[in-house]
């Protein structure tokens, strides 16, 4: 699989938080947009094709996680890191912040301390305080 990291894809005017949100957030659009961890590279073609195939179905209801997803993750972890994990160890989360909340709740007790190192995504700090940790 190859990627083209040299192709520039204009994002201005596409409701991009990173590019179009700077003026509202900082009072100027004349900034280097290093405030959002958003990539400016095209998604891999395999991902685009899979999304387009799914989008072609006219109903977007709730879906199950297919066995192939678990198998792919388990295979990738074994190949890349030598980790052999059980399927029931995998917990799906809708995003990084909910996953961080769940992890903090699972491995710490109320009023314990959690280290968050700057620079970091700002909601990581609130994940500590909203879970009753320091």
Task: Identify the pLDDT of residue 121.
Answer: 86
pLDDT band at 93, cuts 50/70/90?
very high
Rounded to the nearest integer, the mean pLDDT of the chain is: 92
Structural domains of the chain in order of their starting residue, each with its CATH number: 1-63 (3.90.1150.10)
Mean pLDDT (whole number) for 37-49? 89
Helix runs in the chain, H state only = 17-20, 22-26, 45-55, 67-81, 96-107, 123-130
**Rounded CA gap, 104 and 114, in Å?**
8
Q: Are 15 and 26 in contact (CB under 8 A)?
A: no
Phi, psi of 106 (to 5 degrees): -75, -35
For residue 34, give every residue at least 6 positions away whose Cβ sits within 8 Å of its Cβ, in sequence order, or none: none
Whether the pLDDT of residue 1 is over 80: the answer is no
């Amino acid at each position: 699989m190859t990627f083209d990291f040299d192709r520039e894809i204009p994002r201005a005017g596409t409701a991009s938080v990173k590019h179009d949100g700077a003026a509202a957030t900082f009072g100027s659009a004349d900034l280097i947009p290093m405030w959002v961890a958003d990539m400016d590279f095209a998604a891999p073609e395999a991902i685009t094709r899979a999304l387009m195939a799914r989008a072609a179905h006219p109903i977007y209801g709730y879906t199950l996680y297919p066995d192939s997803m678990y198998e792919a993750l388990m295979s990738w972890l074994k190949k890349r890191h030598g980790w052999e994990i059980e399927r029931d160890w995998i917990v799906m989360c809708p995003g990084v912040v909910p996953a961080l909340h769940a992890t903090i709740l699972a491995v710490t007790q109320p009023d314990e301390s959690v280290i968050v190192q700057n620079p970091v995504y700002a909601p990581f700090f609130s994940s500590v305080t909203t879970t009753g940790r320091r």
